[in-house]
Structure 1
Amino acid sequence: MLDQLSVVQTIAVVALPLLFAIVVHEVAHGWAALALGDRTAEMLGRLSLNPVRHIDPFGTVILPLGLVITASLAGAPPFVFGWAKPVPVTWENLARPRRDMALVALAGPSSNLIMALLWGLVAKAGYALGPGIGDFLVLMGMSGVVVNLVIGLLNLVPIPPLDGSRLVSAVLPASAVATYNRAESWGVVVLLLLLIFGFLDPILGPAVTGLRHGIHQFIGL
């Protein structure tokens, strides 16, 4: 359905789900850290849902917009993802740093799964409302499901600084953690290259499709 929309229409139905997906993902990290004893994000005002506090010019605006425009011009469904400024976590404040950092990392993708379910309910409400505003809600809701699944699953890829790397760090031998985390300085570049050349498609594609189908069945779409 989205591949039949204009660039402006695609942006209209994708922008809000994407913004929520990115911002809530980061705030979830901060909430988890606070629950586990670290108040860094709270003290810096990063537990707010105000997107201005979290926007990264490239990851939140330029990259997603470029992906939407490119897909629309190619007549293909948009593959949209992005990121916000990372919420700071001071691991020394955590009672069990390695375990707790893994829990903080999991909070982000978990929030995306919850939001995917909520956007599925928005789509269902749109179907109930019928033509007009209902059609818009269906498109926005279905976009929200896919965007959140993409962002949640992509963040589980074990490339620093993605959340998946925090899970790997929690189980690696202590002597190997520092070496592994040093890859963070070029991790984003590696991720973009993997996405551009389609190396992650065989993993992400079936996973997103399977989870989307499961959510549709669970909600009754």
Structure 2
Amino acid sequence: MGLLNLLSANPVAFLIIALALVFSLTVHEFAHAWVADRLGDSTPRRYGRVTLNPLKHLDPFGTLLLLIAGFGFARPVPINPNNLGRWGTFWVAAAGPISNLLLALITALLMRVFAGNGLAISILGIVLGINVVLAVFNLIPIPLLDGSRILGALVPSLGRSLAQFEAQPFSFLIVMAFIYLARGPIGNIIASVQNWVERTVGV
């Protein structure tokens, strides 16, 4: 369900979820850019992506899709793998999901701190859930997602095939179809990871 369906029913919930999504997606993309910059690739900096300004990271079509379909994306951070090497590329790809997992753990810790505040718990619960979804979802090893770039760095020959597939105009539709068909197993993994986060922090 897209966020637009929630707008008329519960505007406050819509605003909270929208802000949490923007914040989480921004941190995710910033993490990619920051790690690439630290590892010697100035490409993200030249494109103004080493920033927490959400306007630099949000994609118009991805944001519209998020509002309508409940699934969207931010603008990919441009990098030059030649400046990073195999393992640099690996860490840049992994930085986004890692940042969301860290945000989930921090949010769970804050839920312990604000245990007596119902409103804070509700908001933090939304942030926690969104970041677990982003972390797990982006680790799926299929083209257009960080998982495929992580896999490509670990297995360079496979990485070239994944990159060629990603360049095809129909790749987005195939990935969307896969995600829709695999939504059950993906949902189970997301629930398991969220349970692990909450148990780790003791929520």
Q: Does TM, normalized by the shorter one, top 0.5?
A: yes
Give the 3 Å change call, closer, same or farther, for CA 167–25 of structure 1 in structure 2: same
Does residue 112 of structure 2 align to residue 124 of structure 1?
yes
2:139 and 2:34 map into 1 onto residues whose CA distance is 19
Indicate which of 138, 147, 153 corresponds to 1:155.
138
CA contact (8 A) 2:143 2:175 kept: no
How many Å apart are 1:164 and its aligned residue? 0.8
1:11-64 Cα deviation digits (max 9, x unpaired)? 1231222112111111111111112110111122111101111110121x2222
Q: How do 1:49-198 residues align onto structure 2 when only pairs under 5 Å count?
A: 49-59=52-62, 61-67=63-69, 81-94=71-84, 97-128=85-116, 130=117, 135-174=118-157, 176-184=158-166, 185=168, 186-196=170-180, 198=181
Give the 3 Å change call, closer, same or farther, for CA 159–99 of structure 1 in structure 2: same
How many residues align structurally? 195
Partner residue in 1 for 2:45:
42
How many Å apart are 1:172 and its aligned residue? 2.8
| CA RMSD, Structure 1 to Structure 2 (Å) | 2.2
What is the percent sequence identity of the aligned residues?
34
How many Å apart are 1:81 and its aligned residue? 4.5
CA contact (8 A) 1:195 1:201 kept: no
1:124 and 1:44 map into 2 onto residues whose CA distance is 39
CA contact (8 A) 2:103 2:131 kept: yes
* TM-score scaled by length of structure 1: 0.79
Give the 3 Å change call, closer, same or farther, for CA 33–7 of structure 1 in structure 2: same
Give structure 1 regions of 4+ aligned residues with deviation exceeding 6 angstroms: none
1:23 and 1:82 map into 2 onto residues whose CA distance is 13
Counterpart secondary structure, 1:216 = helix
Q: Which amino acid aligns with 1:214?
A: W
Where in structure 1 are there 5+ consecutive unaligned residues? 68-79
Identify the structure with bigger relative contact order (alpha carbons < 8 Å, sequence gap 6+).
1
Q: Which amino acid aligns with 2:195?
A: H
CA contact (8 A) 1:149 1:208 kept: yes
Indicate which of 8, 11, 16 corresponds to 1:13.
16
Q: Which amino acid aligns with 1:26?
A: E
Where in structure 2 are there 5+ consecutive unaligned residues? 1-5
Q: Which amino acid aligns with 2:162?
A: Y
How many Å apart are 1:173 and its aligned residue? 4.9
